[in-house]
Amino acid sequence: MIYSVNISSQADKDIRAIYEYIALSLMSPENANAQLSRLEERINNLDNLPKRFPKYKNDIRFMPVDNYLVFYTVDDNSKDVSVLRVMYGKRDIENTL
């Protein structure tokens, strides 16, 4: 079953911040581009079998991508996946999400 994948404005900000941190703070634009590509590829792959990843709490699921976690919800009625946040895995997720 194919779902439509939608990225929230907050998740988009998260992805941009990850890219900027790696490219500018760590001075590694090549790694930033590679990380961005991996995140985009994995997020886009949520269009097929989005429930294969575990639930975090309630109806929010998470998918690990390297050192990051992608948090999302699945709506079976509308066949939509909504990406809510993309966060560093060692961050205080409970208080941030």
What are the pLDDT digits (tens) for 4-15? 999 999 999 999
Return the closest-CA partner of residue 60 out of 36, 43, 44, 81: 81
As beta bridge partners, residue 63 has: 70
Band (pLDDT 50/70/90 cuts) for residue 94 is confident
Of residues 66 and 92, more confidently modeled: 66
- What is the rounded average pLDDT of the residues 12-28? 96
pLDDT at 1: 67
Provide the pairing of β-strand 4-7 with 80-88: parallel
> Does the global pTM surpass 0.85?
yes
Instruction: Choose the CATH number for 4-96 among 3.30.2310.20, 3.90.420.10, 3.40.430.10, 3.40.1550.20.
Output: 3.30.2310.20
Average pLDDT, the chain: 94
pLDDT at 63: 97
State the greatest distance between any 2 C-alpha atoms of the chain, in Å, as a whole number.
Answer: 44
Can you spell out the DSSP letters for 1-56? -B-EEEE-HHHHHHHHHHHHIIIIIS--HHHHHHHHHHHHHHHHGGGB-GGGSPEE
Q: CA 6, CA 51: separation in Å to the nearest integer? A: 15
pLDDT at 91: 76
State percent of the chain over pLDDT 90: 89
